C-alpha cells in the first residue's frame, strides 16, 4: 500500500528532528551538509530531497532558520508589522494558515464541572511533527498534544483534564482532523476551538492566533498586543498553559535576544515548525 503524503511527512520529520539536534549541538562550528547527512545516515543528495519535500525549502535555507541572526531579523520585521497593525486598530497581521479559526471559551461553570455531561471524542493522528493526540467536542477542538514520550501517557493526561466527561476514541476522525489542520492547501470553512482557561489566558491565546504564519514575536511584543506592556512573565505563563498545540501557535514566540526559548513539545520541534511554516509561505531568510 502506498503511504499517504502525511505519513511520508511524518517519516521525514524523524530525519529532520535528528538533524536539528545535531546542528544545535554543533552550531558554533557550522557543520557541513555532508556531516549532517552522515549523522542521519543518508547521502547528501537524499538529505537534500527529504528537506525539500518536508520543509519546502533547501537544507541551506533550512539551516538559516535555525540561526539566532535570522530570529533577530524576524523579530525586527515583526515589530514593524505589529506596530502598523496596532496603529490601524487591528489586533494583528494574520490568522493561522489560511484557515478561519474561531474560538469559544468555556464558562466558569463548565470548567468547574470538569466535563460533566459532555461527550468528547479523541484519537491519535499523524502530523508532520510526529504522532499527536487530538481531542474535540461538538463545539470544536479542545486538545492537541504531541506524543513524544508515550501515547498511553498522553491519553491518561487527556483523561485527567476531563475526568467527568464521557470519552470516545475515534482514530479515524482524529486522522481526518490532523489532515485538515496540516494540509498544504487548507479547505474552506471554519475550524472551531474550544478554549478552557482564565480570561487572561484566553486573551493571550486569541492574540497568538493573530500572529501570521512564519512570523516570530517576543513575549514583550505579545504583551503589547493585548495592551499589557511589561507583563512578559504573565504572558509566558499563559503561553505555557496552552493545551492546543500548534493551532494556538505558541511556537511563534521567541525571546527578545533571538533564542528560541522554551517549548513544551521540545525546542527541536519548535525550530522545525518555524522552518516548515516558512517553507510553505515562501519566506526567504535574509
Active site residue 250: yes
pLDDT digits (tens, 9 = 90+) for 103-130: 888 888 888 888 888 899 999 999 999 9
Distances (CA, A) of 16 to 104, 182, 250, 272: 35, 17, 21, 7
The mean pLDDT of the chain is 81
* Residue 121: predicted pLDDT: 96
Query: What is the spatial distance between Cα 23 and Cα 25, in angstroms, rounded to a whole number?
Result: 5
3-state secondary structure 133-168: EEEEECCEEEEEEECCCCHHHHHHHHHHHCCCCEEE
Give me the residues of the chain with pLDDT under 50, please: 1-3, 86, 88-99, 285-286
Q: Which helix (H) or strand (E) holds 238?
A: helix 232-240
Indicate the SS3 state at residue 82.
helix
Predicted local confidence at residue 44, as pLDDT: 92
Reduce the DSSP state of residue 103 to 3 states and report it.
strand
Residue among 103, 142, 178, 250 flagged as catalytic:
250
* Cβ atoms 221, 79 nearer than 8 A: yes
pLDDT of residue 5: 54
User: Taking the domains of the chain in order of start, what are their residue ranges?
Assistant: 92-264
User: How does DSSP classify residue 3?
Assistant: P
Domain 92-264 has CATH 1.10.10.10: yes
Amino acid at each position: 500500500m502506498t503511504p499517504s503524503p502525511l505519513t511520508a511527512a511524518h517519516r521525514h520529520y524523524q530525519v529532520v528532528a535528528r538533524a536539528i539536534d545535531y546542528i544545535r549541538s554543533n552550531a558554533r562550528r557550522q557543520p557541513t551538509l555532508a556531516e549532517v547527512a552522515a549523522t542521519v545516515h543518508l547521502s547528501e543528495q537524499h538529505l537534500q530531497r527529504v528537506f525539500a519535500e518536508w520543509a519546502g525549502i533547501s537544507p541551506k535555507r533550512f539551516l538559516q532558520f535555525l540561526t539566532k541572526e535570522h530570529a533577530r531579523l524576524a523579530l525586527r520585521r515583526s515589530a514593524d508589522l505589529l506596530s502598523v497593525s496596532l496603529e490601524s486598530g487591528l489586533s494583528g497581521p494574520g490568522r493561522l494558515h489560511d484557515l478561519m479559526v474561531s474560538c469559544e471559551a468555556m464558562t466558569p461553570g463548565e470548567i468547574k464541572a470538569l466535563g460533566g455531561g459532555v461527550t468528547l471524542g479523541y484519537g491519535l493522528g499523524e502530523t508532520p511533527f510526529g504522532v499527536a493526540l487530538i481531542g474535540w467536542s461538538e463545539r470544536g477542538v479542545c486538545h492537541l498534544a504531541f506524543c513524544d514520550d508515550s501515547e498511553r501517557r498522553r491519553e491518561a493526561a487527556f483523561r485527567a483534564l476531563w475526568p467527568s466527561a464521557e470519552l470516545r476514541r475515534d482514530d479515524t476522525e482524529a486522522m481526518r482532523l490532523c489532515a485538515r489542520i496540516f494540509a498544504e492547501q487548507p479547505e474552506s470553512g471554519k475550524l472551531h476551538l474550544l478554549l478552557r482557561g482564565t480570561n487572561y489566558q484566553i486573551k493571550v491565546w486569541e492574540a497568538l492566533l493573530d500572529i501570521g504564519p512564519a512570523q516570530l514575536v517576543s513575549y514583550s511584543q505579545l504583551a503589547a498586543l493585548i495592551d499589557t506592556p511589561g507583563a512578559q512573565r504573565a504572558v509566558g505563563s499563559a503561553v505555557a498553559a496552552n493545551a492546543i498545540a500548534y493551532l494556538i501557535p505558541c511556537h511563534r514566540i521567541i525571546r527578545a535576544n533571538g533564542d528560541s526559548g522554551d517549548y513544551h513539545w521540545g525546542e527541536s520541534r519548535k525550530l522545525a515548525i518555524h522552518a516548515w511554516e516558512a517553507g510553505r509561505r515562501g519566506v526567504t531568510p535574509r
